[in-house]
Structure 1
């Protein structure tokens, strides 16, 4: 009897232990991975930027409410994130546009600290681009859902929706209620904060519309264990025009693969040495810093008058190059570079030219070479990272931009401009920089410098 009792106890204990372990195993399997970005109690770890829409915590959710007369509002994480997988649930007023920022920034010298960067769209309208990727306050639409009708049908109006966002390396992917939406390859920004947007409302709209978020979680480690395979169409922005750029009239100035549309500044054909095309990047090789000693400068085969030009460039240590415009290739057939106005490309920290120039600082990066110094507070990424140059010429008004910030402007052909030229080494060239049109030039200055995404929008 005693033995049977002991065996019974042992069997009960073993059965209980089995149930307990099974229960623990089930809990372990169901355990949410990653970390919560929102603690369900307050907005610790978050900061509001730009607009004055209200954000409050209610029943373990974040409630954003529109307010009249204010720009877009963003509740941003205090922490920055690079590679991650994020999931969250939200419910938006069916007449309300909104979005979720990732890898985004806010800088004093960029549009007065305006939030900018990738936005995962929340679009309850009939357009139905929820889950698409918009570049807030920068390039506009990068990945609309025009070619993904399955994703356009995935969003549930006036109901809870679930988003999954994967940002790994240069690939950004989204899912809407389990349906693959965007699949974008773009390397504009590697890191930034995450933000919940309450969009501004028009003057004829009633304030008080709400969007509610909950279950905001993020994974930042061992991403290869959790990432999913998207079957959404891939769009790679490298050397491609986005839908927004096409609508605005932009054209590719370089196709990313061939030398079509370009020739040597002093040649009828493209140089057979000195320049190389690899993986969608156009690079002038290093020859020890001697100007035009290898392949020489290259110019477009077409001329341009008023225009807007943009390109990404990457420097090596001590690198020197430039983008010239209103060039006259028939001048200076001898040694050295072709003649034209120049957007300087330079490693200011390591190249001696940064301390030279007819006007102090006028040979630093983004300056009008030897004539006008770029703003000293310009935003420049470190050597080895990509930067974006932009040049705007309209009715003789010229602007140089660097990474989205205007760093100088001047009036071509004005008395002030002509005085600068008269005091410079360009004084010997008649009507320097005043030609009605000319090709665009990329300079061979003997240092390794790379270019991609070379685009132009004619303005005349």
Structure 2
């Protein structure tokens, strides 16, 4: 729903700027020394003396999972022997000797922040290529920028193997070949942020599962230093584990009833659309438009739904405006090409002139919902939406605020007098429709209903 004419643009701009800083924080650009990192709770992954805490790579996560304990132990023994031949400690640095395989941490990690210095050693062949696997998955790219034939001129620090989400870095921040570079890597849920030499090069991008693109990134796996046949060195490798968000799980009753999770706080794998302004944060699905002019766009389920029960929690900020798209296409204005159920702080002064079919829970432009059942901004609301044939019900915090039948609107048109072809749709995507406001969602689950 577009309510631009109903509120002050200055108020909205100031609010978005404030909430963006709150949600994202201000990145630290200064380089940290090992002593400073230790004070901040980081621990060394590499002690500068030997390979303690590291092991050789055995296959990939999919193949490892299929091995028996005996098979894995035997494979690990061989991989460790290869590692000791391929990786050497020299002057406090970890060097790959241009043959062999990756070296991996003995421990598996979930959410973390990591610092690592790396250097491509100039051997005159201009084939420098390496990387850092996060949760066993390739990779934060490292390479010689002179390798223009393979696209290395874009710089290091991108998520090279992404196919859907951004794979290239935002800028070139590499130092000259043969000089030391520093990565600061932050991994939270399915998102990765990378600073290279203090410059932001990957900004909270989803890391895709290279090994099985039908699944989200692994919740926990080892970190790998990639060996790609060319000499590379690492040093000052420090990591700090971050507290992971609580993962939502269906209740026993919901499992029995046939509900499935659309968002549990660990990944956005089941969603498509604007995955930049919508992101995972502390177990929540957050929309935080990055500019005052940006609407935040739309985020949709990859799957289509016809008749269903949808349950979710949401938290509004003052004056917030979003929407729940149902039976919507991926293109066009979902409020008209599909249907939009309002998500709105309709008690805010800026919305004093709303039409009755613009209140929270209303079918936008068509059928109004009851007012007065939203919790104060900043508190979590619980909402259930039941869609079956032409009947649509919205239950907010335990109270039914909409119990509608769109049959009449399908025949005679919507109350606002505008074209709403989406009223005639019987199937489409579920989505959140951004209108420039920070909003949080969580615990999103759905049950498909048979018949109309």
TM-score tier after normalising by the smaller chain length: 0.3 to 0.5
TM-score scaled by structure 2?
Answer: 0.42
TM-score scaled by structure 1?
Answer: 0.42
The structure in which a higher percent of residues are helix is 2
